[in-house]
């Protein structure tokens, strides 16, 4: 990360023991407190987004999902009625 590209600022309130622990970790890694916080907050953000935007399926579940995509079931009567209602409301 280039300092010239950093244009946004944020602030966080920490407990004294949190700040001390984070400072110690930053010193161990040889980076500034700010760089340590930004790096680890960004990594946590990436992981959180990935967890909420992707699926990981077990083998059995993956196979059921793929088969449903490749061989979808025929629409049921309630599904056909829902499509009909939608088309009527959407003016189609």
Residue 6 confidence (pLDDT): 81
Number of domains in the chain: 2
Residue 5 confidence (pLDDT): 82
Does some domain include residue 77? Answer: yes
In terms of domains, do 64 and 43 share one? no
Does some domain include residue 6? Answer: no
pLDDT tens readout for residues 35-79: 999 999 999 999 999 999 988 899 999 999 999 999 999 999 999
Question: What's the start-to-end Cα distance of the chain, in Å?
Answer: 51
Q: Rounded to an integer, what distance in angstroms lies between the CA atom of residue 34 and that of residue 30?
A: 12
Q: Single out the residue of 15, 17, 21, 16 nearest to residue 40, CA to CA.
A: 21
Residue 63 lies in domain: 58-92
Q: Rounded to an integer, what distance in angstroms lies between the CA atom of residue 24 and that of residue 13?
A: 17
In terms of domains, do 72 and 49 share one? no
Quick one: which H or E segment has residue 31? none
In terms of domains, do 46 and 68 share one? no
């Amino acid at each position: 990360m280039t300092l010239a590209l950093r244009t946004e600022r944020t602030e966080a309130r920490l407990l004294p023991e949190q700040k001390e622990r984070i400072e110690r970790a930053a010193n161990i890694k040889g980076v500034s407190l700010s760089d340590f916080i930004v790096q680890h907050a960004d990594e946590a953000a990436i992981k959180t987004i990935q967890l909420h935007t992707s699926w990981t399926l077990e083998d059995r579940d993956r196979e059921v999902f793929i088969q449903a995509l490749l061989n979808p079931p025929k629409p049921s009567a309630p599904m056909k009625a829902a499509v009909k209602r939608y088309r009527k409301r959407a003016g189609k």
